Structure 1
């Protein structure tokens, strides 16, 4: 459903949010290791998240990535998905066809439409605070 870049972007944002709650900035190397993603690819994803004002990059000896504590609860998963994958997840065909719409539907179009609507609802109503708290409490994980 999401691109690999988007999956890594969500994981990275959750990891950064958890550490920001603890007053820690995290390096790209640490993020890459903790979310099990290639370091160079992770760096590009982090740049996109910075450009979209989801995370903040701080330069220098004590630099790294962080999210302002008071903003963590306001950042929705939909913002992360849009920053990396755009809005195609809400409109793309469930079978991957290039042209699929109400006028020219694929065999799964009607059934997949409700899935996309549920996905949009979940992404727009889930924030980083919820996900980082699950990670912090040990009820969720980012890496096997």
Structure 2
């Protein structure tokens, strides 16, 4: 079952990569990010532009430019990334994609999916963007398939 769109998958990987590099004061370019998260550069560029416009990540131009995340951004929840790119359907939508599914008119998966949705929502709201920096920097975790 797919929970995140391809856009959100790339965004999550990119933001976590940028966050880990930003911890040491680095700014990273689009080419480096794309190579390290196994993402098409052109597609990733559009995603990062949108995240930058919404303040999830920051960017600077020039020879020392690139993408970075400040301390406030490091503390933001992962849910912010999903909401900017995919809306809140992940937290409210039907597991079968039915528009009429509700408490009063449930689909066959409604009750079970409601619990899964609740757990995912909780995890994405309590986990910060910077939560994985140490593990990413020391190679315990990876962002490249």
Greater than 6 Å deviation, 4+ residue runs = none
Which one of 13, 30, 51 corresponds to residue 28 of structure 1? 30
Confirm whether residue 131 of structure 1 aligns to residue 132 of structure 2: yes
Confirm whether residue 100 of structure 1 aligns to residue 108 of structure 2: no
- The equivalences for 1:1-144 within 5 A come to 1-68=3-70, 70-144=71-145
Q: CA deviation at 1:133?
A: 2.0
CA distance in 2, matches of 1:116, 1:17: 26
TM-score (norm 1): 0.94
Aligned length: 143
Secondary structure of the residue aligned to 1:65 is strand
> Does the aligned pair in 1 maintain the 2:57–2:73 contact within 8 Å?
no
CA distance in 2, matches of 1:101, 1:33: 42
Q: CA deviation at 1:141?
A: 0.4
Secondary structure of the residue aligned to 1:57 is strand
Structure 2 residues without counterparts, runs of 5 or longer: none
CA distance in 1, matches of 2:84, 2:77: 11
